[in-house]
Amino acid sequence: MSLINDATITLERLTKLKVATDGAEEAQSLSSLRNELAELASPINTLVEKASVLRGERVTLTLIPELANIRGRIQKNLECFQETPKASTLRQGTRWTTLTNKLKTVAQLAHETLTNDWYQYFDQNFFGGLSPAKREENLAKTMQNESALKLYRQIYQEFIKYRRYQPTNTEEFNKIRLLSQQLANIAFEENVPEGVRKFFDALNEGGAELHLLTPEVLAWLCDKGSLANYIVRARNN
């Protein structure tokens, strides 16, 4: 990705060149070309900034061979323009069209490459647990699990957005680490007896019948200090 930065610096030199013009028409032509190059440089500059942040955090970035070619073409065009500083120099033959097309192509390729590098790093280095929906599927609906799931959903929603959008500074990178650790630290009641599971499933569906309140369930609730959290009501027929 460092080649993108080199190419962008060269491109900026080209767009900022001050030349003496023969008239308003030439000045307008040069201004139009500079504006077009500046627009093409913008997404590349953004990628350079993102790559710099990731590289600073030791994220492995894939080298893009096409950058060497585009860098050489930019340098060659710059040299020709310095010799004959006119808009027609840049537009000669297919020079301008080839340059702009290659800049668009390399910007798209760099975006896709950087995105894939980030996906790979994110999946290998941060929290890799299930989504809230998947996490909930096999959990008993105990009070602790319901409370933990609420927190899990909240943190996961904030955490997973960074997989789609790379961090733009060190502070955001540290935030991802914190969110990742918070998710890993959330404890669920995993090994819940089947009778207890059925009892809580019934409660969440509107109420548990007394036959579900077995000695096993009573003992489990007692061990958890949860007996006082439940009351028995007669069903109104």
Give the pLDDT confidence of 95-143 residue by residue, as tens digits.
888 888 888 888 898 899 999 999 999 999 999 999 999 998 888 888 8
Provide the pLDDT confidence category of residue 201 given band limits of 50, 70 and 90. Answer: confident
pLDDT above 60: residue 152: yes
Please report, rounded to a whole number, the percentage of residues in the chain having pLDDT higher than 70: 80
Query: pLDDT per residue over 19-60, tens digit each?
Result: 444 557 777 887 788 888 888 888 888 888 889 999 999 999
pLDDT above 50: residue 1: no
Overall number of domains in the chain: 3
87: how many CB neighbours lie within 10 A of its CB? Answer: 21
Q: Is residue 18 part of a domain?
A: yes
More confidently predicted of 220 and 135: 135
pLDDT above 60: residue 202: yes
Domain check: are 116 and 15 in the same one? yes
Mark which of 78, 94, 125 sits at the end of a domain: 125
Domain check: are 70 and 178 in the same one? no
pLDDT (0 to 100) of residue 21:
41
Backbone phi and psi for residue 31, each to the nearest 5 degrees, phi listed first: -65, -40
Domain check: are 145 and 225 in the same one? no
Provide the pLDDT confidence category of residue 178 given band limits of 50, 70 and 90. Answer: very high
Residue listed under structure tokens 């990178």: 173
Q: Is residue 56 part of a domain?
A: yes
pLDDT above 90: residue 70: no
| Domain that residue 167 falls in | 132-185
What is the rounded CA–CA span in Å between residue 47 and residue 164?
15
pLDDT above 60: residue 167: yes
Backbone phi and psi for residue 187, each to the nearest 5 degrees, phi listed first: -100, 135
Instruction: Please give the average per-residue pLDDT across 207-220, as a whole number.
Output: 69
More confidently predicted of 119 and 11: 119
Q: Is residue 117 part of a domain?
A: yes
What is the rounded CA–CA span in Å between residue 8 and residue 75?
11
Q: Which of 68-72, 83-87, 89-93, 186-190 has the highest mean predicted lDDT (pLDDT)?
A: 186-190
Q: Which two tokens stand for residue 93?
A: 């033959």
What is the rounded CA–CA span in Å between residue 209 and residue 203?
9
Residue ranges of alpha helices (H) inside 138-193 are 143-164, 170-185
What is the amino acid identity at position 114? Answer: L
Backbone phi and psi for residue 65, each to the nearest 5 degrees, phi listed first: -60, -30
Assess contact for 14 and 77: CB atoms under 8 A.
Answer: yes
Q: Which two tokens stand for residue 197?
A: 């599971």
Query: In whole angstroms, how far apart are CA 123 and each of 33, 64, 153?
Result: 42, 22, 18
Domain check: are 111 and 10 in the same one? yes
Instruction: Please give the average per-residue pLDDT across 203-219, as a whole number.
Output: 69
Mark which of 125, 147, 163 sits at the end of a domain: 125
Mark which of 125, 148, 175 sits at the end of a domain: 125
Q: Which two tokens stand for residue 66?
A: 């096409």
Q: Is residue 234 part of a domain?
A: no
Provide the pLDDT confidence category of residue 16 given band limits of 50, 70 and 90. Answer: low
Assess contact for 32 and 97: CB atoms under 8 A.
Answer: no
HSE (CB half, 13 Å, CA atoms) of 61?
24
